[in-house]
Structure 1
Amino acid sequence: MTTFVWTAVLVAALLHALWNSLVKSAGDKFMGSARVALWTGVVAILVALVAPAPLAASLPYVIASALIHVVYFLLVGRLYRNADLSVAYPLMRGLAPLAATAIAAVTLREIPDAVALVGVLGLVAGVATMGLSGLAHGRIDRATLIVALANSAVIAIYSVIDGAGARLAGPDAAHAFAYNAWSDALTAALYLPLVLALRGKAAGPELLRDPLRSAFAGLAAFGGYAIVVWAMTQSTIGAVAALRECSVVFAAIIGIAFLGEPYRGARAGAALLILGGVIALRFA
């Protein structure tokens, strides 16, 4: 993985942690995630208007990605009701890179080299340890744990779909960003009617609340994942998916510093494992 791609994915990880922290800090987590989806769709439409259209071969992947991202947003809205960000977030993200690596190996014949595999395993171990330390201290309930693990599978599936789809979207970064824009716009178009159906007339004003904060979250969500989608055209899907999970360190810092969540010593050891994985992926 080149230094530029490696650095870009770390920036994407920070952006991802930021928008998740905004959902966590919202009074209504479901509507918080819905506002992020709405504003991500707005940003996506603006990008789609100026970017080249993705090639036709990628369009089935756009549709599949949008459908599974609807599930992802529904689960994110449920996830943060009864758990700390610094616990729920790493549990949700922890197994996804390893599952994505396995799925990509089977479906795309994309086998990571030994150094990359060490990096993936180090990151997964660190992320899982960070989440499990919170689980041991009762910072998450059983139902939320199930939601977190279910969303890990969702993340792994959409990572492989989007990595494969972006590679078919066109020859350059502009086409990868366009692929993500079309997917995010379709996700918003599918998700928002569902929100209105679930919440009724009250959902309309809620979606328009706090527009500046929500617009920032949507921009962070779009930009963070667009970078990841592009990076998966430059490196293996498993390596990019794993490196992106450095976001759990950023999420832990945000949770402790700004959301009043407790610090646990085990998280420091987990952070060291993640750091080792990050370094290994730089040299993969």
Structure 2
Amino acid sequence: MDLLAIALILAAACCHATWNFLIKRLNGGPELVWLFSLVSSVIYLPLVVVIMLLERPTFGAMELIFLAGSGALHLAYFLLLQQGYRRGDLSVVYPTARASGPLLSITFAVLILGEYMTVQILGGGLAIIIGVFFLTGGFRSRTSNLRASLGFGLATGVLIGSYTAWDAYAVTALMLSPLIVDYASAVLRTVALAPYAAARKPLVLGFWRDHKGAVIVIAVLNSLAYILFLIAVTLTPLVYAAPAREISVLLTVMLGTLILKEGSFRGRIGWAALILAGMLLLATG
């Protein structure tokens, strides 16, 4: 695995873990997604203008389809995940989504993108996926709505796998800028969620008034994490990058354990070690 790609994925994981930790503390819904998407669209606009002036990309029908499709998939992911958390059991939805997402990404990479799979890559990927699943709680037999929770988790995982493979094709085959791909997604989310945010204006203003700094950090790191990941995808196959990206889940869970006192740190050490072992297999593959 390319060393620069590893560095980018690790940096992306740190960004992803940080913004997820902050958004978890704010406990917001689609109105918060709209707010940080809007702020992100404003902050990254100058960089987009620079890219447009320097690279002068051309956007044909295929490029526009992929930009719109990327935005739609990401929007669907955010909304479905929110519904899953509301109507399902978080302890089932989250681990199912985070484990099935990269597994599907790897499958799409091999079947659709034509990437090559080795035993070492498969072993490393599965180690990370299994570690993530159990690190985030695994199945809990006491869940009263297991079927609905599994359904939301798997559906969310399908969206994770789909937008990851879709965007990987956009930046590798169509040569679209990772910044442009992520920015188009942020703009589409902003436009699509505007009516929802307008109907909950007091809540949106409350988030901005009370948590402006956190919202800005989320807006910056949400986009930066995915941009760095997409840059890494241009340097290394998706079969490496997709499971390696889940190192962010390890960081998020550890932040929650150490700072928010969620769960037992000692009980999670083994699964954390399995994830790191999987990352090592991918790094040396």
Alpha-carbon separation, structure 1, partners of 2:20 and 2:142: 21
Change (3 A) 1:112 1:184: farther
Q: Output the CA distance in 1 between the equivalents of 2:34 and 2:276.
A: 32
Following the alignment from structure 1 to structure 2, what is the Cα–Cα distance between the partners of residues 207 and 54? 36
Mapped to 1, the partners of 2:127 and 2:65 lie a distance apart of 33
Structure 2 CA distance for aligned equivalents of residues 202 and 75 of structure 1? 24
Instruction: Describe the shift of the 1:103–1:29 C-alpha distance in structure 2 as closer, same or farther (beyond 3 A).
Output: same
User: Hey, what's the Cα distance between the residues in 2 that align with 1:187 and 1:11?
Assistant: 24
Equivalent position amino acid for 2:71 in 1 = A
CA shift for structure 1 position 89: 4.5
What is the one-letter code of the residue matched to 2:245?
A: R
In the alignment, is residue 170 of structure 1 matched against residue 175 of structure 2?
A: yes
Which residue number in structure 1 is paired with residue 97 of structure 2? 92
Any idea what the Cα deviations from partners look like across 1:192-241, whole Å, max 9, x if unmatched? 225236x4444552463422210100100000000111111111113211
Which region of structure 1 is more displaced relative to structure 2, 265-274 or 82-91? 82-91
Structure 2 counterparts to residues 94-243 of structure 1, below 5 A: 94-133=99-138, 135-136=139-140, 142=146, 143-170=148-175, 175-190=177-192, 192-196=193-197, 199-202=199-202, 204-206=204-206, 208-209=208-209, 210-243=211-244
Distance (whole Å) between structure 2 residues aligned to residue 55 and residue 168 of structure 1: 14
Whichever residue aligns with residue 166 of structure 2, its letter is I
Q: Which residue of 2 aligns with 1:25?
A: 25
Q: CA deviation at 1:118?
A: 1.7
Unaligned runs of 5+ in 2: none
Alignment identity in percent? 26
How does the TM-score come out when normalised to structure 1?
A: 0.85
SS at 1:136 equivalent:
coil
Distance 1:265 1:150 in 2: 31
Distance 2:263 2:111 in 1: 40
Matched, 1:275 2:279: no
CA deviation string 1:157-210 (max 9, x = no partner): 000010000124538xxx3323332333233233x225236x444455246342
State how far apart, in whole Å, the 1-side matches of 2:20 and 2:143 are: 17
Give me the whole-angstrom Cα distance separating, in 1, the residues matched to 2:166 and 2:16. 19
Structure 1 residues 188, 54: closer, same or farther in 2, change over 3 A? farther
In 2, the alpha carbon distance for the partners of 1:194 and 1:144 equals 28
The TM-score with structure 2 as length reference comes to 0.85
CA–CA separation in structure 1 for the residues paired with 2:196 and 2:214: 20
Partners of 2:145 and 2:28 in 1: CA distance? 18
Distance 1:269 1:149 in 2: 25
The aligned residue for residue 58 of structure 1 is: 63
